[in-house]
């Protein structure tokens, strides 16, 4: 099965037990709810770094959480009602530091002729690589879909069926079947998709590692 | 406009990189604070990706979205996952319980190369190789005959004595006409009912482009359910296309997103799309093909004009 929240906690070595406890203490009244809040926080951080074009949003999310947890264990006080806002402030500086210390990805302007508009032998190689990549991704997706609960799997696959007016009609029926509003349905699917993406990315990484046997 | 609608619109602009910094920070503060805020952001991202894949995103939004994907490796990853999910759902529609009774097997029309690894099981692979060899032989024979007859529309421009309309009626590939498709290169076209009668036509780039005075006429045999159009691509510069089918009077009939270019055994670069025969009338049509590949190249788009004549 796709991992539960507690198992998905990734604790950096630099995070001491004290700072980890401080982190859990502000995230929830008990370990289970704190773990759920941790996942929500990490997802918000990932979203922030991804939308801002960071190359490694996962690592930066971890770095942000570690910094925040360390400060908490050193006596920092969270003054906002929602602890996530405290981490948003830290994330801002983590992003700025990364932009200052590395080469930034600069989007090409629309009229930049740029190398990507030319067909080169390198592009052909990339296309072959992309084909292999997409095959691996598809296999991983199938594997990850099979790890979902049957009802969740049926929901997400059904959600993507059809096109145009039939797609809209299908989604209305799905919302009715699962007793959700249209908005709640799309958010539920978005969350499922996020879990799938995490599983697919883990699967692809494990495939990419050389066989050490 | 409701708060929810304006927020969705702001998230959309945020993801397309169109929001000023202060408004971006406002959105970020919101999704860090709101319980389901992040889910809403990814829901909107999914919708943008869907619109992009189906060709429904405006040209300027498509450009901004591509730019965003180029500048954000993580978003690109999420987009690739989104594409894979679409593909999976499309391939698994025929065998799964259907939510809507009407047959939408032609809608969307997206398929993806390469097929999943499951396709490469030894028995299937052997069958595919045999079918591919038969298809190759038939195609080579057909092209040989066509060349000898001098009716390849692609060469018409150099043959002023041959009136284009004499050649246009024959753009049907004889070996596949009115037969269910068994082309091993397109496994998930099995979304169509196996009993559907299929008529396949090849539209060559040079003979069918806009500007020709007489577009080719595709003779659709009686009782055909599905018309499959194999479009010869103008060049090899693009891997992925969207397409729109319109009547000559500019009425839109169907759209496709995520059409993958493939190289046919005949060495033609082609993209394939399907239309329900009952949606076609005896009139003229235009297919607009646009490159949507992130590695977009110039000169990889074009128009294909043709007429249909139902028998």
Burial class (CB in 10 A: 0-12, 13-18, 19+), B282: exposed
pLDDT top residue among B97 and A132: A132
Across the interface, whether the CB atoms of B89 and A191 are under 8 A apart is answered no
Q: Looking at residue B139, what is its pLDDT?
A: 54
pLDDT digits over A80-105, tens only?
777 888 899 999 999 988 887 654 44
Q: Looking at residue A189, what is its pLDDT?
A: 94
Q: Looking at residue A158, what is its pLDDT?
A: 92
> Which among A50, A108, A197 has the least Cβ separation from residue B81?
A197
CA distance A24 to A37: 9
ipTM at complex level: 0.80
Q: How far is A201 from chain B (nearest CA, A)?
A: 9
Of A93-107, A131-145, A184-198, B244-258, the poorest mean pLDDT is in A93-107
Share the mean pLDDT of chain A.
Answer: 79
Residue B40 in contact with partner chain A when CB distance is under 8 A? yes
Which of A80-84, B113-117, B122-126, B244-248 is the most confident on average?
B244-248
- Nearest CA among B122, B252, B135, B255 for reference residue B186: B135
Across the interface, whether the CB atoms of A53 and B71 are under 8 A apart is answered yes
Q: How far is A41 from chain B (nearest CA, A)?
A: 7
Name the packing angle between helices A83-101 and A31-51 (round to 10°). 40
- Report residue B246: phi and psi, to 5°: -130, 155
> Which among B15, B39, B104 has the least Cβ separation from residue A162?
B104
Q: How far is A213 from chain B (nearest CA, A)?
A: 23
- Give the DSSP letter string of A29-90: SSHHHHHHHHHHHHHHHHHHHHHTT-S-HHHHHHHHHHHHHHHHHTT----SSSHHHHHHHH
pLDDT top residue among A145 and B133: A145
Share the mean pLDDT of chain B.
Answer: 68
User: Based on C-alpha coordinates, what's the Rg of chain B?
Assistant: 22
Helix (H, G, I), strand (E, B) or coil at B300: coil
- Report residue B72: phi and psi, to 5°: -130, 100
Across the interface, whether the CB atoms of A196 and B85 are under 8 A apart is answered yes
Contact of A164 with A105, CB cutoff 8 Å: no
CA distance A120 to A135: 23
Across the interface, whether the CB atoms of A137 and B87 are under 8 A apart is answered no
pLDDT of B74 > 80? The answer is yes
CA distance A89 to A87: 5
Q: State the residue for tokens 């997802």.
A: A43
Q: How far is A117 from chain B (nearest CA, A)?
A: 5
* Residue A164 with chain B: CB contacts under 8 Å: 104, 107-108, 255
CA distance A139 to B115: 10
pLDDT digits over B80-96, tens only?
999 899 888 888 764 44
Mean pLDDT computed over A170-176: 94
Across the interface, whether the CB atoms of A193 and B85 are under 8 A apart is answered yes
Residue B17 in contact with partner chain A when CB distance is under 8 A? yes
Predicted confidence band of residue B1 (pLDDT cuts 50, 70, 90): low
* Residue A161 with chain B: CB contacts under 8 Å: 89-90, 93, 96, 98-99
Q: Looking at residue B41, what is its pLDDT?
A: 95
Q: Looking at residue A9, what is its pLDDT?
A: 39
Across the interface, whether the CB atoms of B96 and A174 are under 8 A apart is answered no
pLDDT of A176 > 80? The answer is yes
| Residues of A (2-21) whose Cβ lies below 8 Å from B | none
* Number of Cβ atoms within 10 Å of the Cβ of B237: 21
| Residues of A (148-187) whose Cβ lies below 8 Å from B | 154, 156-164, 166, 169-170, 173-174, 183, 186-187
pLDDT top residue among B201 and A1: B201
Q: Looking at residue B190, what is its pLDDT?
A: 36
pLDDT of B113 > 70? The answer is no
Chain B nearest-CA residue for A166: B100
* Number of Cβ atoms within 10 Å of the Cβ of B11: 24
- Report residue B234: phi and psi, to 5°: -60, -35
Q: Looking at residue B283, what is its pLDDT?
A: 87
User: Partners of A169 in the beta sheet?
Assistant: none
Tokens standing for residue B54: 């189906």
Predicted confidence band of residue A114 (pLDDT cuts 50, 70, 90): very low
* Residue A105 with chain B: CB contacts under 8 Å: 71-72
Give the residue from B81, B118, B275 with the most A CB atoms within 10 Å of its CB, the best one to mutate.
Answer: B81
Residue A117 in contact with partner chain B when CB distance is under 8 A? yes
Give the residue from A105, A160, A178, A202 with the most B CB atoms within 10 Å of its CB, the best one to mutate.
Answer: A160
Which of A185-189, B52-56, B148-152 is the most confident on average?
A185-189
pLDDT top residue among B247 and B212: B247
- Specify the pTM: 0.55
Contact of A162 with A170, CB cutoff 8 Å: yes
pLDDT of A10 > 50? The answer is no
Peptide bond into B114 cis (omega under 30): yes
**Secondary structure in 3-state letters for A138-180:** HHHHHHHHHHCCHHHHHHHHHHCCCCHHHHHHHHHHHHHHCCC
Predicted confidence band of residue A181 (pLDDT cuts 50, 70, 90): very high
Mean pLDDT computed over B127-156: 46
């Amino acid at each position: 099965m796709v991992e539960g929240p507690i198992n998905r906690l990734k604790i950096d070595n630099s995070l001491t037990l004290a700072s980890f406890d401080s982190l859990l203490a502000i995230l929830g009244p008990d370990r289970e709810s704190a773990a759920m809040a941790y996942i929500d926080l990490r997802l918000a951080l990932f979203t922030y770094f991804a939308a801002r074009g960071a190359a490694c949003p996962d690592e930066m999310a971890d770095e942000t959480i570690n910094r925040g947890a360390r400060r908490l264990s050193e006596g920092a006080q969270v003054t906002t009602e929602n602890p996530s806002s405290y981490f948003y402030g830290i994330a801002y500086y983590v992003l700025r530091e990364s932009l200052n210390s590395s080469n930034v990805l600069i989007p090409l302007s629309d009229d930049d002729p740029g190398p990507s508009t030319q067909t080169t032998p390198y592009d052909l190689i990339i296309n072959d690589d992309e084909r292999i990549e997409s095959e691996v991704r598809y296999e991983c997706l199938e594997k990850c879909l099979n790890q979902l609960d049957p009802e969740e799997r049926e929901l997400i696959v059904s959600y993507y069926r059809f096109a145009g007016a039939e797609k809209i009609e299908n989604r209305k029926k799905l919302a009715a079947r699962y007793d959700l509003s249209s908005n709640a349905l799309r958010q539920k699917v978005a969350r499922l998709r996020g879990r799938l993406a995490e599983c697919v990315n883990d699967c692809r990484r494990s495939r990419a590692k050389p066989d050490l046997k | 406009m409701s708060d929810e609608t304006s927020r969705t619109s702001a998230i959309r602009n945020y993801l397309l990189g169109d929001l000023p910094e202060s408004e971006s920070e406002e959105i970020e503060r919101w999704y860090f604070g709101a319980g389901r805020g992040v889910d809403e952001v990814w829901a909107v991202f999914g919708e943008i990706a869907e619109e992009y894949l189906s060709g429904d995103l405006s040209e300027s939004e498509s450009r901004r979205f591509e730019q965003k994907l180029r500048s954000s490796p993580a978003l690109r990853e999420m987009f690739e996952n989104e594409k894979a999910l679409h593909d999976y759902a499309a391939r698994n529609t025929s065998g799964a319980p259907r939510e809507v009774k009407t047959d939408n097997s032609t809608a969307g029309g997206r398929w993806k190369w390469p097929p999943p690894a499951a396709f490469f099981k030894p028995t299937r692979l052997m069958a595919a190789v045999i079918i591919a060899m038969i298809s190759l032989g038939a195609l080579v024979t057909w092209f040989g005959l066509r060349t000898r007859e001098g009716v390849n529309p692609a060469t018409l421009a150099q043959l002023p004595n041959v009136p284009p309309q004499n050649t246009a009626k024959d753009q049907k590939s004889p070996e596949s006409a009115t037969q269910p498709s068994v082309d091993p290169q397109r496994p998930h076209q099995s979304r169509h009912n196996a009993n559907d009668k299929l008529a396949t036509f090849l539209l060559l780039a040079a003979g069918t482009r806009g500007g020709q005075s007489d577009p080719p006429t595709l003779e659709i045999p009686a009782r055909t359910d599905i018309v499959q159009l194999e479009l010869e691509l103008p060049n090899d510069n693009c891997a992925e296309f969207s397409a729109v089918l319109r009547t000559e009077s500019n009425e839109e009939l169907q759209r496709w997103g995520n059409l993958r270019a493939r190289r046919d055994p005949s060495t033609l670069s082609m993209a394939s799309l399907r239309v329900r025969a009952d949606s076609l009338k005896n009139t003229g049509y235009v297919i607009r093909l646009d490159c949507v590949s992130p590695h977009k190249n110039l000169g990889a788009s074009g128009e294909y004009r043709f007429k249909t004549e139902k028998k």
